[in-house]
Amino acid sequence: MPRKNKATLGQEPLEGEVLRSTDAGEEATPLVPAGIYPTTLYLLPLSERPFFPAQSLPLLMNEGPWLETVKKIGETPQQMAGIILVNLSHTEGAAPRDFYSIGTLVRMHHPVRAEGKIQFIAEGQSRFRIVKWLSNKPPYVVQVEYPSEIARNEDELKAYAMAIINTIKELVPLNPLYSEELKFFLNRFSPNEPSLLADFAASLTTASKEELQSVMDAFNLRRRMEKVLVLIKKELEVAKLQSQIREQVEQKMTKQQREFFLREQLKEIQKELGLAKDDKTADIERFRERLAKLKLTESAQKRVDEEMQKLSVLESGSPEYAVTRNYLDWLSQLPWGKFSKDKLDLVRARKILDHDHDGLDDVKERIIEFLAVGSLKGEIAGSIILLVGPPGVGKTSIGRSIANALGRKFYRFSLGGMRDEAEIKGHRRTYIGAMPGKFVQAIKECGVANPVIMLDEIDKIGASYQGDPASALLEVLDPEQNVDFLDHYLDVRFDLSKVLFICTANQLDTIPAPLLDRMETIRLSGYITAEKVKIAKHHLWPKQLKKAGLKRGDLTVTEAALKRVIEGFAREAGVRNLEKQLGSMVRKAVVKIVSGAEQPIRLGVDEVEEYLGKPVFMPEKPITGIGVVTGLAWTAMGGATLSIEATLVHTKNRGFKLTGKLGEVMRESAEIAYSYISSHLKTFKGNPAFFDEAFVHLHVPEGATPKDGPSAGVTMATALLSLARHEKISRPLAMTGELTLTGEVLAIGGLREKVIAARRIRITELIFPEANRRDFDELPDHIKEGVTAHFVRQFKDVVKIVFG
């Protein structure tokens, strides 16, 4: 079939009103002698591509603007018209300025009108050029001329013709449409006519209408054939590329189809010989093999039998089959009755703990006690350990060390920000994508029913409309309940009582009381400078050298330099920031080594500021003066010192003002201290009338930092008494304790952190409640060393110690 113009050619012949008819048929149309063409023509526009003289194609036009033109053409003696390209995307509304100047003279055959369209066959005759427009509105009439074609060098034209013919020969095998068009051309013309050959070759291409019109415009045959050769060569490259892509796709498809048929045939052959089963049989046998190695409970075995029966009757393509198969896959991969043997050698356990961690002697001792009880019983079960301490003190790594010491599998996941209880208890099997909770996933991954599971950040668990995960944990972490733990997905009870759970938290306040009650708390309070130096030498520095690709001898650091880094840049309770600072020093040293510095490089105290800059923390000196007392506080980041200042504003009227971003409990403590000191001022040798006319302002510095808690009561009362007596504390002294209205001093928490905080600013004389004496006695000797601790029951005991 001839190539059709997209916008102007019809796909199917139209049936309708014949616009021109004769009894004698086509022979009745007067023939035009060769070279004798009309000098005035009616014009019809094309919008997509020009019409070449070598073409004979059906054209389809909109009836509205061009019906009158077609009728006028039919009334002419020769039924000839001019077909010409317009520079618009459509032919409606085409004005004279939109027409190109060169077009093709065609004879119009069999015009038919139907469904708002006009169709006729156009037979190309010759190029023409518009000389003059005789009409400015449709039907357009123009005066034309037929310029002669310039053909100077016949040999050169013959060479171009051969090149074009050879390219067409290459195109024909790549696209069957080209061979049909070639046959049509050869039936009408001779290949020895270079002008018609060039036009035919141009009509084969898919070039743009501008490129094709430039071919139309070329009356110089050599130039025209040159342009056509470029276009048809380009067409050949595109056709080759399309053919190559098609071959690749077909080859790939053929390969896949061949493999599919061979695989299906192989399955059938194996089934006939009894060597293989279908997918359903294979699944059932695989599940049976797995389950044969397990010791399922009675209820689990009953559920498995029911699901296996269901699987055997379901079609393998049904959605229910996939759900049942996945369920059995989970059930058969859980380690029912599989337990790893605990290594309860205390000497080995202590060696592992000492190797992995410096300091934390009290924590290690507690873990050894825990392992010793398990050794005596022969197993460790029903235990939930909660490690509480500031960030960076080694809570997670201690959990890993416990698993190594026991020789158990270790699995860790974080509860921080968890808001969906399905993460704990699993999703019900009522929708696509349902899966078990984290605990069943952990058991499956570990492959034993008694791993060590670490629950990080248990104090940061959340709650939302999707449920309360903290409440869902109650069943998991209760030794009385988790022997029959029920996951919503499995819907079969699984024994978690042999699992050792280790939880970590920065603080206890946000952990629900029922959950906290199920856990055994071990506090990691942080490190003093001496412990940090050991940790840096034995663990952090070697780790940073390894990370930088250095050997131990390439870069060394002195103990004094480590101490300077700790005191000037990393004073917090943990060692995470210390590790960052050491990493920064190592990286700067690596830059020097790569730049050609002499090795080994030794870092001393003087190099610390060169590598890290000026210290972040300057040596702290406690604030002293009348009405100023140093208190001790606990925070989630460790212990801290807290200076409390009381001052007399004026004596015009009685008043009491509090500042320092204090919480509600701390404000109450201040009011209790004010009331107590006001009512007992005479007892403590102060002017009984002082507070009657004094406006007192009590401030806790670092006003932007929120503070709360009752343990500053004693400190606030002492500051108010110092102000009332107009007598300052004569020596470095720090205190903590909750004060009641009757003068009782109650116990406080976080004693270890508070002692470490006091030692950090070199205060060694401390006052604690009598109820905390046991906590102080249990502190390691290296923390208590050089500390003078006073224990008080009543505030009057504090007054005796402070003021003598």
User: Which amino acid does the sequence have at 707?
Assistant: K
- C-alpha R_g of the chain: 48
Cα angle for residues 487, 488, 494 (degrees, 5° grid): 25
- Sorted by sequence, the CB contacts under 8 Å of residue 708 that are 6+ apart come out as 662, 663, 664, 665, 666
Q: Within a 13 Å sphere around the CA of 465, how many CA atoms are in the beta-carbon half?
A: 0
Q: How many other β-carbons are positioned within 10 Å of the β-carbon of residue 592? A: 14
The whole-angstrom separation of Cα 248 and Cα 243 is 9
- Sorted by sequence, the CB contacts under 8 Å of residue 378 that are 6+ apart come out as none
Token digits of residue 376: 């005596």
In terms of DSSP H, where are the helices of 570-711? 576-594, 605-612, 664-679, 690-693
The whole-angstrom separation of Cα 463 and Cα 511 is 12
Q: Within a 13 Å sphere around the CA of 422, how many CA atoms are in the beta-carbon half?
A: 11
Contact 504, 455 (CB under 8 A): yes
Strands 452-456 and 410-414: parallel
SS3 sequence of 307-350: HHHHHHHCCCCCHHHHHHHHHHHHHHHCCCCCCCCCCCCHHHHH
Strand, helix or coil for residue 68 = helix
Catalytic option among 209, 227, 498, 754: 754
Q: In 3D, which of 625, 573, 609 has the Cα closest to residue 760?
A: 573
Strand, helix or coil for residue 297 = coil
Strand, helix or coil for residue 764 = coil
Sign of CA dihedral 675, 680, 686, 687: positive
Q: In 3D, which of 521, 520, 523 has the Cα closest to residue 383?
A: 520
- Sorted by sequence, the CB contacts under 8 Å of residue 694 that are 6+ apart come out as 648, 651, 654, 655
Q: In 3D, which of 600, 495, 619 has the Cα closest to residue 556?
A: 600
The whole-angstrom separation of Cα 320 and Cα 620 is 70
Strand, helix or coil for residue 548 = helix
Is 678 considered catalytic here?
A: no
Token digits of residue 670: 């201040």
**Phi-psi category of residue 188: left, alpha or beta, with phi > 0 → left and psi -120 to 50 → alpha:** alpha
The whole-angstrom separation of Cα 482 and Cα 373 is 21
Is 754 considered catalytic here?
A: yes
Token digits of residue 230: 């470029």
Catalytic option among 56, 643, 711, 722: 711
The whole-angstrom separation of Cα 24 and Cα 13 is 22
Token digits of residue 354: 């000492």
- Return the bridge partners of 634, or none: 639
The whole-angstrom separation of Cα 660 and Cα 666 is 10
The whole-angstrom separation of Cα 30 and Cα 452 is 104
- Catalytically active residues are 711, 754
